[in-house]
Amino acid sequence: MRTGRRRWWVVNGWWNFEWLLKVCFVIEIIHMSNNNCKFCNGNMRYVYNYSGYDVIQCTNCHSSTISTLPSIEELEKFYDGFLFNADLCKKPAVVNKHIKAWYKSFNLRQQANMLDVGGGGGYFSFAFERFGFGKAFYIDIDHQACEFASSSLGLKNVINSAVENLHEHCKEKEFDFIYCRHVIEHLLEPTRNITNIIKLMKDDSVFVLQCPNGYSLEKSFYISNTKRKIKNLVSCNQFSFFAALRIMLSKKIVFGLEPIRHLWSITPKGLDSFLAQIDGIEYSVFTASLSDPVFSPWVSQTKNFKNKLLLKISQIFCSRFTGGAHLVAIIRKSPSAETS
Ligand SMILES: [Zn+2]
């Protein structure tokens, strides 16, 4: 019996919906690989799927994001009642001599103004006022976090708004110290927001920007965390266990990227490349370990023996190779900009 060889377009004609979806997918992949990195302008390419999100990474600086970012409405819904770190037990870890000495090291004027961008629990604002450095202005998208900051911590200058609306609320004020701690990785437009914050700086302001270090292996020793990520990579990509483990030990680790909460994984090279493009500032970019009492007050002051041991081990074996889990930039206006 002669079996008819039917051509593929007869079986799966151009009008076939499934075929059209495949074409759209290929176009999307090409589109993604044509997107440029927001930090260094390098090429972005697809690396793998994580939790159902397509992860794209810069081939130059290895900063990463997801191919389709959520809408503003989705994010507002997600952060309504997010209440990150809002627990009075966490207050003592911030109101301590390390943070006080750190604030003091910036030689701020007396009765300075602090801007706490996306302040979460509000502890750093609280500590700033408690130590007598001046007034803190706190802004956060989560109305419950704002409620906690004003009623439980007694902060007077609380603004419930998205960081994207910072200028509306703050353009008339002058800030000596601006702290944006673990916020930009949550935003749709991290680089635009960094630029907007820099526009709020006076000639002698200090702006401290902190986010996860996209290269960091420091949390790899937290076994349950690593196991969860490997399991996710295996199930979403049909990788073998060892292929997923290799990714977790490479520059494709994209540390910090946890959609929809964290939309960006930013590397020191990416942040440095971006800041280098901004006129009129001088800055330093460095990483800080989880055992750093200023940049990591809660984790560093753990009383749990097992966690203390993990911190030590990860510091010895990981921080020295790929840097600490926190990526920090200290930004000032350059003296030449003051006179121009
Ligand atoms: Zn890049």
List residues bridging with 59 in a β-sheet: none
Centre of ligand 1 to C-alpha 266, Å, is 9
Radius of gyration of the chain (CA): 23
Centre of ligand 1 to C-alpha 150, Å, is 39
- Segment 207-246, tens digit of pLDDT: 999 999 999 998 887 888 899 999 999 999 989 999 999 9
- Segment 151-182, tens digit of pLDDT: 999 999 999 998 899 888 987 889 999 999 99
In whole angstroms, give the CA distance from residue 152 to residue 173. 25
Given a contact cutoff of 8 angstroms between Cβ atoms, the answer to whether 283 and 241 are in contact is no
Centre of ligand 1 to C-alpha 43, Å, is 7
In whole angstroms, give the CA distance from residue 218 to residue 324. 6
Which pLDDT score, from 0 to 100, does residue 340 have? Answer: 43
Centre of ligand 1 to C-alpha 255, Å, is 15
Tokens encoding 216: 């960091």
Centre of ligand 1 to C-alpha 142, Å, is 30
Centre of ligand 1 to C-alpha 58, Å, is 5
Given a contact cutoff of 8 angstroms between Cβ atoms, the answer to whether 55 and 47 are in contact is yes
Centre of ligand 1 to C-alpha 41, Å, is 6
C-alpha distance across the termini of the chain, in Å: 89
Centre of ligand 1 to C-alpha 61, Å, is 4
Centre of ligand 1 to C-alpha 47, Å, is 14
Which pLDDT score, from 0 to 100, does residue 209 have? Answer: 98
CATH number listed for the domain at residues 77-217+258-339: 3.40.50.150
Instruction: Say if strands 201-212 and 175-181 run parallel, antiparallel, or are unpaired.
Output: parallel
Centre of ligand 1 to C-alpha 273, Å, is 8
CA distances for 256 relative to 46, 65, 213, 252, 291, angstroms = 17, 10, 7, 12, 17
pLDDT band for 200, please (50, 70, 90 cuts).
very high
Centre of ligand 1 to C-alpha 55, Å, is 14
pTM of the model: 0.86
Centre of ligand 1 to C-alpha 36, Å, is 8
Centre of ligand 1 to C-alpha 289, Å, is 23
Report the range of poorest mean pLDDT among 53-67, 192-206, 316-330: 316-330
Centre of ligand 1 to C-alpha 42, Å, is 5
Centre of ligand 1 to C-alpha 152, Å, is 41
pLDDT band for 85, please (50, 70, 90 cuts).
low
- Segment 257-302, tens digit of pLDDT: 999 999 999 999 999 999 999 999 999 999 999 989 999 998 887 7
SS (H, E, C) the chain: CCCCCCCHHHHCCCCCHHHHHHHHHHHHHHHHHHCECCCCCCEEEEEEEECCEEEEEECCCCCEEECCCCCHHHHHHHHCCCCCCCCHHHCCCCCCHHHHHHHHCCCCCCCEEEEEECCCCCHHHHHHHHCCCEEEEEEECCHHHHHHHHHHCCCCEEEECCHHHHHHHHCCCCEEEEEEECCHHHCCCHHHHHHHHHHCEEEEEEEEEEEEECCCCHHHHCHHHHHHHHHHHHHHHCCCHHHHHHHHCCHHHCCCCECCCECEEECHHHHHHHHHCCCCEEEEEEEECCCCCCCCHHHHCCCCHHHHHHHHHHHHHHHHHHCCCEEEEEEEECHHHHHC
Centre of ligand 1 to C-alpha 32, Å, is 14
Domain ranges of the chain: 77-217+258-339
Centre of ligand 1 to C-alpha 99, Å, is 32
Q: What is the mean pLDDT of residues 179-192?
A: 96
pLDDT band for 248, please (50, 70, 90 cuts).
very high
Which pLDDT score, from 0 to 100, does residue 1 have? Answer: 45
Reference 123, options 85, 97, 161; nearest CA is 85
Centre of ligand 1 to C-alpha 118, Å, is 25
Which pLDDT score, from 0 to 100, does residue 87 have? Answer: 76
Q: Which residues surround ligand 1, an ion (CB under 5 A)?
A: 37, 39-40, 42, 58, 60-61, 63, 270
Given a contact cutoff of 8 angstroms between Cβ atoms, the answer to whether 170 and 103 are in contact is no
Centre of ligand 1 to C-alpha 104, Å, is 34
